[in-house]
């Protein structure tokens, strides 16, 4: 149930991100386009979701991002799963409770994500100029994503609480 809720929340955030791109393109502010899915994936990793289920949700959301965007297929799929695993390994659940720590966590992981994207594009990309053209967009993207992280963490926390309100069945209990 929880994974389905996070999957549909991720798809909704992807649609918001696509429309935000259109709006920011109209006002010529494309440098400040945040990744709205990244804080959701960080939330799942930090709150110690099942490795298989969380990686599966990150995989599907990464693949959806690959399809919607113009990146090579598999780029965001790989990086989202890698970031989920890194966030889970970091295990900073207690630190991500304050808005400042959510901002810092998103800032650090978005920077890592951006570096991963640029390195993978430099290695596997068809055009050598693409990573060099994207360097100037990296810092505004990282800052915009970090600013958007606390509200997305709040939404994810509400989803988390809504999906854990039911008590799990006790082993051996008769319904």
pLDDT at 174: 52
In a domain, 175, yes or no: no
In a domain, 172, yes or no: no
**Average pLDDT of the residues of the chain:** 84
User: What total of structural domains would you count in the chain?
Assistant: 1
For residues 144 and 46, give the distance between their C-alpha atoms in angstroms, rounded to a whole number.
Answer: 20
Query: Domain containing 89: what range?
Result: 2-162
In a domain, 170, yes or no: no
Q: Is 16 buried (19+), middle (13-18) or exposed (0-12) by CB count in 10 A? A: middle
In a domain, 28, yes or no: yes
In a domain, 173, yes or no: no
Among candidate residues 115, 36, 52, 44, the one with its CA nearest the CA of residue 79: 115
Q: What is the pLDDT of residues 138-153, one digit of tens each?
A: 888 899 999 999 999 9
In a domain, 169, yes or no: no
In a domain, 59, yes or no: yes
In a domain, 14, yes or no: yes
The answer on pLDDT for 94 being more than 60 is: no
pLDDT at 139: 87
């Amino acid at each position: 149930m929880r994974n389905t809720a996070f999957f549909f929340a991720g798809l909704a955030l992807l649609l918001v991100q696509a429309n935000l791109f259109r709006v920011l393109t109209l006002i010529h502010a494309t440098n400040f386009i945040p990744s709205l899915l990244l804080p959701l994936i960080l939330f799942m990793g930090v709150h110690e979701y099942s490795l298989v289920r969380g990686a599966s949700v990150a995989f599907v959301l990464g693949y959806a991002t690959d399809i919607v965007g113009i990146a090579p297929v598999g780029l965001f799929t790989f990086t989202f799963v890698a970031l989920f695993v890194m966030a889970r390994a970091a295990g900073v659940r207690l630190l991500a409770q304050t808005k400042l720590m959510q901002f810092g966590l998103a800032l650090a992981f978005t920077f890592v994500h951006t570096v991963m994207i640029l390195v993978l594009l430099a290695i596997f990309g068809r055009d050598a100029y693409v990573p060099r053209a994207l360097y100037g967009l990296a810092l505004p993207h990282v800052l915009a994503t970090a600013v958007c992280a606390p509200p997305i963490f709040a939404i994810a926390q509400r989803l988390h609480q809504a999906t854990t309100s039911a008590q799990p069945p006790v082993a051996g209990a008769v319904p």
